[in-house]
């Protein structure tokens, strides 16, 4: 059976790069291509073997995507909050087939699986009307002569469409969200690439366990012929005996079935050695490595033997603080930069971290500290809590309610 990691290593083999200086004030040219550039890994290996074929990888991706998709958005225009901004309506209902959390979850899932997330905008009268997530394996970057992306080829149903910004379009048709990769100029690196060996080990251990169960949860034994001295089984007898064993005594449905032996045959069972049983611990170790690559505490996945966190709540807070919120902020910054030509340079999308239920205890502690900080103004306290500043009239209203 070919190895997931071996195919990954072969896929990372890249042609030598051509480098040159573009002149004063320019940059070093990385690659001059007119055709689409393919990503640095087999686009079908990670979704099939890492996500669909591995429960730990599937759960890591699902947890991160669902967590990011559950965070509401806030829109700011400069320093002012804009609760009725049209971008919020677009993100709540990005297209007729999806809700906002569904689209965000799909985008983040693709990002975690392949290292790349693609979002396409449909314009109506120069304004964004719909957003759609594109599968990363169907999108190819088309660089210009200096190495910058100038267009994107999208292939589906045997047909390829080239997408590029028109002269009257206020923004590019695609937003590319990618994870850092030192191996490619245009594509991100999936966490499955770092966890490839662990995925291989975990999947192989699962296959070994399945094969063991198919053989009545015990290793095969040996049939010993103790007939007359010097005599052995003929070829016909050997073939018939092997066929009967396969049909009548192999598989889970025949577990425990008594074996009837004759003609000097004896069954000698084989037992597991301690080394044979090490695959269970090896599988747990591989699962921890997969979780580590995605930034998910193993305790949240039910993996035994992990005592890094004192309790489940602490592990959950760490997951939100170190994995989910940084990814949500990165998505907000990318969307802000992409949509700014339409909504203005002061437009900014930010995740509402104070609305996250898992962090409610930390938020309450922060608000209590700010409430006692008399040396700070109301707007300084609001800024420290992640809120936009308010005018004097709003500050007076807060003082009247005792919430300042």
Summarize pLDDT for 153-210 with one digit per residue, the tens.
999 999 999 999 999 999 999 999 999 999 888 999 999 999 999 998 899 888 877 7
Distance in angstroms (rounded) separating the CA atoms of residues 358 and 262: 67
Rounded-to-integer distance, Cα 357 and Cα 316, Å: 11
Token readout for 306 is: 């992990």
First and final C-alpha spacing in the chain = 66
The answer to whether the beta carbons of residues 356 and 71 sit under 8 Å apart is yes
What mean pLDDT, rounded, does the chain reach?
79
pLDDT of residue 16: 43
Rounded Cα–Cα distance for residues 400 and 404 (Å): 9
CB 17 within 8 A of CB 3: no
For the stretch 159-166, contacts whose Cβ atoms lie closer than 8 Å and that sit 24 or more positions apart, written own/partner, are 163/120
Average confidence (pLDDT) over 361-380: 72
Poorest-pLDDT segment among 45-59, 70-84, 232-246, 387-401: 387-401
**Tens-place pLDDT, residues 43-64:** 578 898 899 999 999 999 999 9
pLDDT in tens, 145-157: 888 999 999 999 9
Q: State the Cα–Cα distance between residues 225 and 194, nearest whole angstrom.
A: 51
Q: What is the pTM of this model?
A: 0.73
How does pLDDT run across 98-109, given as a tens digit for each residue?
999 999 999 999
Q: Retrieve residue 256's tokens.
A: 């425990």
pLDDT at 55: 95
- Per DSSP, the three-state class of 349 is strand
Phi/psi at 123 (5° precision): -95, 145
């Amino acid at each position: 059976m070919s190895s997931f990691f071996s195919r990954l290593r072969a896929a990372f083999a890249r042609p030598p790069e051509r480098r040159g200086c573009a002149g004063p004030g320019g940059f070093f040219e990385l690659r001059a291509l007119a055709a689409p550039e393919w990503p640095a890994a087999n686009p079908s290996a990670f979704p099939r073997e890492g996500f669909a074929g591995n429960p730990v990888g599937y759960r890591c991706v699902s947890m991160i995507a669902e967590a990011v998709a559950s965070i509401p958005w806030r829109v700011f225009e400069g320093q002012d909050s804009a609760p009725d901004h049209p971008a919020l309506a677009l993100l709540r209902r990005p297209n007729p087939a999806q809700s906002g959390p569904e689209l965000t979850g799909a985008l983040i899932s693709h990002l975690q699986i392949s290292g790349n997330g693609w979002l396409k905008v449909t314009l109506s009268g120069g304004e964004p009307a719909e957003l759609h997530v594109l599968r990363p394996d169907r999108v190819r970057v088309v660089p210009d002569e200096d190495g910058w992306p100038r267009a994107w080829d999208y292939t589906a149903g045997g047909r390829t469409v080239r997408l590029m910004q028109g002269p009257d379009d206020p923004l590019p048709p695609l937003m590319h969200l990618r994870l850092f990769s030192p191996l490619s100029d245009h594509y991100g690196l999936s966490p499955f690439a770092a966890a490839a060996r662990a995925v291989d080990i975990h999947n192989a251990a699962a296959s070994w366990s399945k094969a063991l169960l198919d053989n009545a949860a015990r290793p095969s034994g040996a049939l010993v012929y103790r007939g007359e001295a010097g005599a052995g089984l003929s070829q016909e007898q050997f073939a018939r005996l092997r066929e009967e064993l396969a049909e009548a005594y192999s598989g889970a449905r025949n577990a425990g079935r008594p074996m009837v032996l004759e003609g000097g045959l004896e069954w000698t069972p084989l037992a597991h050695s301690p080394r044979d049983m090490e695959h269970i611990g090896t599988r747990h170790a591989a699962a921890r490595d997969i979780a580590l690559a995605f930034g998910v505490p193993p305790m949240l996945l039910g993996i035994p033997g992990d005592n890094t966190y004192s309790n489940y709540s602490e592990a959950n807070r760490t997951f939100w603080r170190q994995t989910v919120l940084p990814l949500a902020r990165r998505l907000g910054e990318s969307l802000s930069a992409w949509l700014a030509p339409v909504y203005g340079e002061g437009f900014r999308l930010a995740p509402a971290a104070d609305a996250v239920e898992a962090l409610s205890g930390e938020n309450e502690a922060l608000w209590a500290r700010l409430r006692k900080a008399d040396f700070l103004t109301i707007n300084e306290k609001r800024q420290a809590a992640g809120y936009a500043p308010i005018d004097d009239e709003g500050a007076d209203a807060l003082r009247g309610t005792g919430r300042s």
